Amino acid sequence: MKCMYVDGEWYESEDKETFQTKNPANQEVIEEVPRGKQKDIEYAVMTSRRTFESEEWQDFPPEGRGRILNDIASKLRRDAEEIATLETLDTGKPISQGRSDVEAAARYFEYYAGMADKIFGETIPVQSDILDYTVREPVGVTAHIIPWNYPIQITSRSTAAAIATGNTVVVKPAEDTPLTALKLAELFNETTLPKGVFNVVTGYGQEAGAALINHPEVNHITFTGSLQTGRVVMETAARNIIPVTLELGGKSPNIVFNDGDLDEAAEWVVKSVIQNAGQTCSAGSRLLVQEDIQELFIEKVKNRMLSVNMGRGIDDPDLGPVLSQKQFERIETFMDIARKENATFLTGGERVHVEGCEDGFFMPPTIIEGLDPQSEVAQEEIFGPVLSVFPFKDEEEAIQLANNTPYGLVTGLWTENIGRAHRVAKKIRAGQVFINNYGAGGGIQMPFGGYKKSGFGREKGLEALRNYTTLKNVALKM
């Protein structure tokens, strides 16, 4: 059985209860994990608070934080295959994607290691006998609620930035995928990081997660997950008057114009919607294609989707299983809505059984045509390998369709007309716009976050450092 990690020690939950984490490909139990609850969160948060206020951490040099984060990056690469395997068994994703996630995690620690001693303030001219300056100070105890789809990446991107800026951390990984957060704790345990800076409590969202976001000693909450849960997180943070960073998903379009590189675009349209079985907040789940190339382009996408192979993540297929029965039933609900609305399924739409994975939940790559753009299927995040197709006549209609959802996380544009690319990018209401690519290889340095109901605040890049610092102004009369 795995143990939680608090104050530099491994321990079971207060009441000794556990839960199981399972392999999505066959529902086999991988590990027993402690079921943390309010008392365990209390211990972790108060440990984190005590550590933050300690002289040891307050006097810990920024370059020392940077060296430790660099050390974590090296250890992630050292144990990359083990961690990728854990990630794949826990999430179901293909092992090649697991390996990419581990490398991305290492890059986050490497990137923020370089920033630990570069958190600058500035001087402000006020009057001749006043020296006025600002300093950026750590916010304090930071809570990190981690989703189940990219656990090692998302744990790393927020905790690396938080520690780089001098905060202490309490991580609550998703109950479905807790193993790599605990492995990360093992790596921290090998370093000289003061005990109590990095803490992990496993448990269910309604128990451990709720206790963490409600704790009065938490100074900032970072949450990635569903819109519904994000709303609860925000309401709770409002009661405690603390800042939050929310990344709540998307309904992201690829917009393909008739002058785009259609082969390249088709390749990326498919990749963007099948990665991690479509369980990706930035998945390109809508295809907007110019009318005069609609038939040609959809045939290219369809052919690529029909060639996708499915299987256990550890065997490195193109497409692994959906995480759980609960998640699969959510996808099926949307498929039923599309059928009732007389939409056309060009591929997929029904569960398939994969040899050797009879208990796994596999949804093949699915293309749906003929939906009303206002349909629930066209508007809501499905979190599966499902692509909805909509034709457009011109730039104006493409922009209208692209912006016509409650979300605004990512958009892909495919055109060789540089003027068009910039015109459209300017009018798109999304946090990231990719032109003739989609994702830019993970983009560790690129601010990531959304407009509208995709949330607010930015992770990744230098912008993320603002989440974990607070600005103080000092005015000295000379």
Nearest C-alpha neighbor of 116 from the set 57, 64, 154: 64
Phi, psi dihedrals of residue 56, rounded to the nearest 5°: -55, -45
CA distance 290 to 280: 25
- Residue carrying the six token digits 């992630």: 76
- Residues composing the chain: 478
Catalytic residue list: 247
- Select from 190, 213, 186, 211 the least CA-distant residue to 200: 186
Q: What is the DSSP string of 172-191?
A: E--TTS-HHHHHHHHHHHTS
Run of H or E including 238: helix 227-240
**Closest by CA position to 232, among listed 218, 220, 219, 246:** 246
Count Cβ atoms within 10 A of the Cβ of residue 67 and give its class: 0-12 exposed, 13-18 middle, 19 or more buried.
middle
How many CA atoms are closer than 13 Å to the CA of 442, on its beta-carbon side? Answer: 16
Contact in structure between 223 and 195 (CB atoms under 8 Å): no
Dihedral of CA 252/257/261/266: which sign?
A: positive
Alpha carbon distances (Å) from 246 to 144, 162, 202, 370: 11, 15, 21, 33
DSSP 3-state assignment of 231? helix
In DSSP terms, which residues pair with 171 in a beta bridge? 144, 200
Whole-angstrom distance, CA of residue 199 vs CA of residue 350: 41
d(CA 79, CA 51): 28
SS3 213: helix
- In this structure, the dihedral spanned by the alpha carbons of residues 147, 6, 101 and 411, taken in order and rounded to 10 degrees, is 40
Question: What is the number of H-type helices and E-type strands within the chain?
Answer: 15, 22
Structural contact between residues 121 and 136, judged by C-beta atoms closer than 8 angstroms: yes
Alpha helices, H only, 341-405: 376-379, 395-402
By 3-state DSSP, what share of the chain in percent is helix, strand and coil, each rounded to 5? 40, 20, 35
- The span from the first CA to the last CA of the chain, in angstroms, equals 62
